[in-house]
Structure 1
């Protein structure tokens, strides 16, 4: 019997050791969580923008394809590709020498014919007096008068030719018609170019700049309503710069609906002083119509879908879970408005819901991956920073 008692006693001690090893304090020291690991956030109350979203296309505010109006050798290119230019800046010089020679010829013709006209005018005046005194015939007077009138029209034609020649010389110096940024050079210096033939370079005005997009025609009445009330803010969000959207204003709604697509064309203008937006880019567009005041907001990942509808898991003060049906509203920027079901300041589970049921015990996991021992261990910044 004694061996049996010793064995029984050893078994009891072993069980006690196992129980002691598995006690909550020992599990906590070993780094094993007391409850289901979750991440959490605090429901906040704030003003939320009422927005519509779309995919937009960036377009230059103005585009000019520069061509020459005269034929000749491209004598000089006065800019670097990609350079920003202002209205009036010199871009190209076409060899002006042939046009200047032609101008001097027309000016000489004008001077010659002007002298002949002045003499004809004097002769016509003298013969007019002689005709009045009966010294010369009507035919002789009419001949001198007609010669004067013909030379006067010749002088007018010569003057017009001089003006046109000066224009041709001016066309040899091609200047930028707008403020903008030049693109790729299509014709290099030294080539002979023809009038109104080849595009030399394209200039895009990028400050300001347009973003165009389409919305379903069902949104038209609402957009027109808020445009009538004031400026409608539009944000253009670049894929690589989602934190800092570019702010613009809705300026144009097309006067017809695209029947084939059921959409309406809209356009917003952006100052684009830092040139974040570039022609032909695709951007995410957010149109802010108004603000919803004092809305209760939670991260989008907190809202779950069950057989009975939408719900969230609320973390109570004792770190147990409460199942809570909710009525969600509109979503924006990875957040969702909760119309009914959550109060400001309540903690909601944002990750780990699959392991939870109502009444489950949880441990709140912070961003660095360590287990938080208490709910208060998750500070406010961590609560409202959503990934």
Structure 2
């Protein structure tokens, strides 16, 4: 019975010896197997993940090349068309309207007769003044003859010196009377001229408030209003700019060193179109003008300053009181690098873009934005021709392989040519000063 356990132990020992011999032979035939094995399962999993990442398909993105162009620095604001000159006409003499020589809304020229009043009383006054002048001139001639005769008599001692003095005083009195008569005649003729009311300037008349036969009061603050005339050409557009725009505006109006005359600032009106209220009319028929006036005070209650631009209005497309939007070019940034604003990535105060690298992978490039206009922005940190990612940048990481295609921009976004689109008044207010820096 004791032989059976001994036999079993012998079999187990032989099996262990055979297994050890097999492992030793396997190591000799496959050297370095232990060193190639991963230190732990986590390292193996990480290596497998990296291998699959390097073999992932490239991500499709929309790209656009950075452009090199001149960009106008503009400000845009809402304004109101205002006539540069407005005159309210009133009668200077109380009379009855005899003729109205114009109609409501007529265009008149300077010096054109508009009204005629009943001038019969004033004509009579002119005739009376002329008659008085003629009488006093005759009296003056007689007094001068008497004085000459008195001088001859005094030379012969036929009259006393006092008689000669009296004759001389009579001559001087008559001369003064003649001068008074001449002044009275001029006054009467002036009053007669008030019976014809002429246009003081070129312009367009408004509603006429009197008719032939109307009695008008004149010559006082309560004088009867007749009509108003507004100058239509040239015409102004008044608007307010935030005080942050004052420094760039004044800088743009100063003459450059060595030049006498300051540069003329261009202004453009954006007028609503009759086909739906858009601003297409400005593109179809642009109205260009110049800066005419900058107020001498900033309104402390609103933080704005009043500005006025002047425009040619020979076609009378602008009307006083009309609402318009105005765009004014302060200066031009020469050879600026511009990209779509959609390409900008903002993290806090830092801004960057993804650029397609030479190996067709994503490369993050820090940039500085200088001036936004429309859907574009002037940047520093890129070169013209750099291919920037506009679409599909949300899931990108530096080094991500890319498959590029042209970015699709709608017509509103593609307005960044030489002309450039204007920023809104709020964005222009903050960025024009940055552009000047």
TM over 0.5: yes
Count of equivalent residues: 333
Aligned: 1:239 with 2:271? yes
Q: Secondary structure at the match of 1:61?
A: coil
Q: Which residue of 2 is the match for residue 290 of structure 1? A: 331
Aligned: 1:261 with 2:302? yes
Q: Which residue of 2 is the match for residue 17 of structure 1? A: none
Aligned: 1:66 with 2:98? no
Q: Which residue of 1 is the match for residue 322 of structure 2? A: 281
Distance 2:412 2:90 in 1: 59
Aligned: 1:50 with 2:91? no
Aligned: 1:198 with 2:192? no
Q: Which residue of 1 is the match for residue 233 of structure 2? A: 207
Q: Which residue of 2 is the match for residue 25 of structure 1? A: none
**Structure 1 residues 1-387: aligned runs within 5 Å:** 44-196=67-219, 197-228=223-254, 229=256, 230-240=262-272, 241-243=281-283, 244-297=285-338, 302=342, 328-340=369-381, 344=385, 384=414
Distance 1:205 1:177 in 2: 11
Q: Which runs of 5+ in 1 are unaligned?
A: 1-37, 368-380
Compared CA separation, residues 128 and 285, structure 1 to 2 (3 A)? same
Per residue, is there more strand in 1 or in 2? 1
Distance 1:383 1:262 in 2: 32
- When normalised by structure 2's length, the TM-score is 0.64
Q: Which runs of 5+ in 2 are unaligned?
A: 1-60, 257-261, 273-280, 397-401, 422-437
Distance 2:109 2:65 in 1: 52
Q: How far does the alpha carbon of each residue in 1:230-277 deviate from its partner, in whole angstroms, 9 at most, with x for none?
A: 324232423312324422222333333322222233232223333333
Distance 2:298 2:163 in 1: 76
Q: Which residue of 2 is the match for residue 26 of structure 1? A: none
Q: How far does the alpha carbon of each residue in 1:61-116 deviate from its partner, in whole angstroms, 9 at most, with x for none?
A: 11111122111111122222222222211121122221111101110111111112
Q: How far does the alpha carbon of each residue in 1:27-50 deviate from its partner, in whole angstroms, 9 at most, with x for none?
A: xxxxxxxxxxx9998764321101
Q: Secondary structure at the match of 1:206?
A: coil
Q: Which residue of 2 is the match for residue 5 of structure 1? A: none
Distance 1:339 1:186 in 2: 64
Shift of 1:159: 0.8
Q: Which residue of 2 is the match for residue 21 of structure 1? A: none
Query: Is the Cα contact below 8 Å between 2:252 and 2:265 reproduced in 1?
Result: no
Distance 2:238 2:102 in 1: 30
Query: Is the Cα contact below 8 Å between 1:313 and 1:321 reproduced in 2?
Result: yes
Compared CA separation, residues 200 and 299, structure 1 to 2 (3 A)? farther
After TM superposition, the structure 1 stretch with the greater mean CA deviation from structure 2, 286-295 or 254-263, is: 254-263
* CA-based RMSD: 3.9
Distance 2:363 2:324 in 1: 41
Compared CA separation, residues 153 and 361, structure 1 to 2 (3 A)? closer
Greater C-alpha radius of gyration: 2
